[in-house]
Amino acid sequence: MSLFQIGGFAFLGALCFWVGRGIRVGRIPRYAAAVWLLLCVIAAVLIADPRLTVLAARALGIGRGADLVFYSAILGSLFGSFLFYVRIRRIENKLTGIVRELAIREALPPSREQQ
């Protein structure tokens, strides 16, 4: 086994442990955990036998296995960025709601001397 494979398996093992702990304490939804574990399995298989990337790349019409990994990483990052953006927008909307509710509850009535 190469040094990269050892390091890769160790990293994936730690990730799986973190995901498992997240499920146990209820911090990570089950569907998200399933996606992460699936990605870990795929990554582990490809690290164990890198030749599989070549087969997959050729099946998809891409020249090299490394290119397939690279393109997949870019697309995955874009998708992940979009999900984060959606989440940030939703958090901003909730923040707006909180600030609004505070403003309404603490409304200053018209000053009596002007009425």
Partner 1 sequence: MPATPFNARPAGRFSRLCDRYAHQIPTSIHFLLNLLSRMHLSPPTASADDVFVIVPVFNEASVLGEVLRALLEAYPNVVVVDDCSHDDSGAIAASSGATVLRHIYNLGQGASLQTGIDYALRSDAQYIVTFDGDGQHRVEDIERLLQPLRAGTADVALGSRFLESTSNIPAQRRILLRAAVLFSRATSRLDVSDAHNGLRAFTHHAASRIHITMDRMAHASQLLDQIGSAGLRFTEVAVTVRYTDYSLMKGQKNSQAAVILRDYLIGRLVK
CA nearest 36: which of 57, 22, 54, 55? Answer: 22
Contacts of 46 (CB under 8 A, 6+ apart): 52, 53, 69
Could you say whether residue 103 binds partner 1 (CB under 8 A)?
yes
Q: Give the separation between CA 59 and CA 53, rounded to whole angstroms.
A: 10
Q: Please report how close the Cβ of residue 78 comes to partner 1 at its closest, in angstroms.
A: 14
CA nearest 56: which of 41, 71, 77? Answer: 71
Among 58, 64, 89, 94, binds partner 1 (CB under 8 A): 89
Q: Please report how close the Cβ of residue 91 comes to partner 1 at its closest, in angstroms.
A: 12
- Among positions 48-87, residues that touch partner 1 (CB under 8 A) are 85-86
* Contacting residues toward partner 1, per CB under 8 A: 85-86, 89-90, 92-93, 95-96, 99-100, 102-104, 106-111, 114-115
